[in-house]
Amino acid sequence: MLKFGADIPFVSHLGFALHRMQGGESELHYTAQPEHLNSFAVTHGGATMTLLDVTMATAARSDTPDFGVVTIEMKTSFMQPARGPLVAKGRLIHRTASMAFTEATVFDAEGRACSHATGTFKYVRRQPAAGAAGNGASDGLKVISTD
């Protein structure tokens, strides 16, 4: 099972499931719960942006799992409503020793692109949390498969 080294309660609450984190690519699945919808009964833009952010961060970390990343900037375009089960696919476009340049797209159940983002992340050396040394804590993503 893949481990991320940090617990992110918000990601756990949303219920993101990690399906791929390898070779500069990532794939996460997400089905919005009723409390994650907006007034139009589609996935709230904030939940979608969080999905894009986590997907890009996962792609950035796929080759350097011992490092964490922090978001420096993110640009998001919403192209159509995000309904039903969603799949987010991320890609590491370029990296330097300290920065990652990424992109991600969220697709609906019919495979239509709903939103797209680009993001810049800074690699940071992970510091063990107080009392968490060696406990293998995850960042709240449920791992489905690692292939």
70-84 per-position pLDDT tens digit: 999 999 999 999 999
Confidence of residue 134 (pLDDT cuts 50, 70, 90): very low
Report helix, strand or coil for 108: coil
Q: Express each pLDDT in 5-62 by its tens digit.
A: 467 788 888 999 999 999 999 999 999 999 999 999 999 999 999 999 999 999 999 9
Question: Which residue's structure tokens are 């040394």?
Answer: 133
What whole-number distance in Å separates Cα of residue 81 and Cα of residue 54?
Answer: 20
pLDDT score, position 130: 58
Dihedral over Cα of 64, 67, 68, 72: its sign: negative
What are the boundaries of each domain within the chain?
Answer: 9-129
Q: What is the mean pLDDT of the chain?
A: 86
CA angle, 53 as apex, 12 and 96 as ends, to 5°? Answer: 125
What whole-number distance in Å separates Cα of residue 69 and Cα of residue 58?
Answer: 9
The domain at 9-129 falls in which architecture? Roll (3.10)
Contact 68, 129 (CB under 8 A): no
User: Is the overall model pTM greater than 0.95, yes or no?
Assistant: no
pLDDT score, position 5: 43
pLDDT score, position 40: 95
Contact 63, 123 (CB under 8 A): no
